[in-house]
Amino acid sequence: MNVRKLVTVVEETRLEGGREVDPVARVAVVAAVIENPWAGAGFVEDLAPGIEANASELGALLAPRVLEALGGTAEAYGKAGIVGLDGEVEHASALIHTLKFGDHFRKAAQATTLLPAVEKRGRAGTTFDIPLKHVTDATIRSHHQSVEVQVPDAPHAGEIVVALAAATRGRPQQRLAPLSSEQ
């Protein structure tokens, strides 16, 4: 796996809706800009060798970094894969939609739910929103949120941006009734 750069973003929301947020809402994102192992090879029928060579190592690299950057317990989490223009969306999906990748984050965050994701193709500077859900109960509405991310110089045409995100809490000032109230 060839990593060109790692990018860490930490966001703290202290005021929302004109009111103090207590405790402060923290969201952290760590993104790796990597060489796309399938770019330029034409249509690759079997993605398994590239997954085997990269996904676990990538998950092991990102999971502890995002939790360290968060500086607290992860209550919500998500992932993203943005492939450069010389690749296919399936290339990003191949790396992030495997237990070899995601289980590193699930174990580190003591999570049990599906790790929500976004993937798309774009040029350098593409903005993407990483969806977040509660780490143990995806029906907890307060934790349904997203974080907007952009790496100004990535992905290059032959790269993939792979990112993990975590939040210390749900949306600031959330006021929606529990999902169970509608069932």
> Do 27 and 170 contact (CB within 8 A), yes or no?
no
3-state secondary structure of 164: strand
Distance CA 44, CA 59 (A): 23
* Residue 73 tokens, joined: 């317990």
Residue 111's nearest CA partner among 55, 167, 65 is 167
CATH number of residue 129's parent domain? 3.30.1330.110
Mean pLDDT on 37-60: 96
Q: Which amino acid is at 162?
A: V
Q: Beta partners for 167? A: 27, 76
Mean pLDDT, all residues of the chain? 96
* Residue 130 tokens, joined: 């990483």
3-state secondary structure of 120: strand
pLDDT digits (tens, 9 = 90+) for 83-117: 999 999 999 999 999 999 999 999 999 999 999 99
pLDDT digits (tens, 9 = 90+) for 142-157: 999 999 999 999 999 9
The residue assigned the tokens 């990597």 is: 34
Predicted TM-score (pTM) of the model is 0.95
User: Of all residues in the chain, what percent carry a pLDDT higher than 70?
Assistant: 100
Is pLDDT above 80 for 178?
Answer: no
What is the pLDDT at residue 140? 93
Beta-carbon neighbour count of residue 52 at 10 Å? 11
Residue-number span of the structural domain to which 69 is assigned: 3-182
The residue assigned the tokens 């990748």 is: 101
Q: Which amino acid is at 59?
A: G
> Do 70 and 9 contact (CB within 8 A), yes or no?
no
What's phi and psi for 25, nearest 5 deg? -90, 120
**Total domain count for the chain?**
1
3-state secondary structure 58-84: HHHHHHHHHHHHHCCCCCEEEEEEEEC
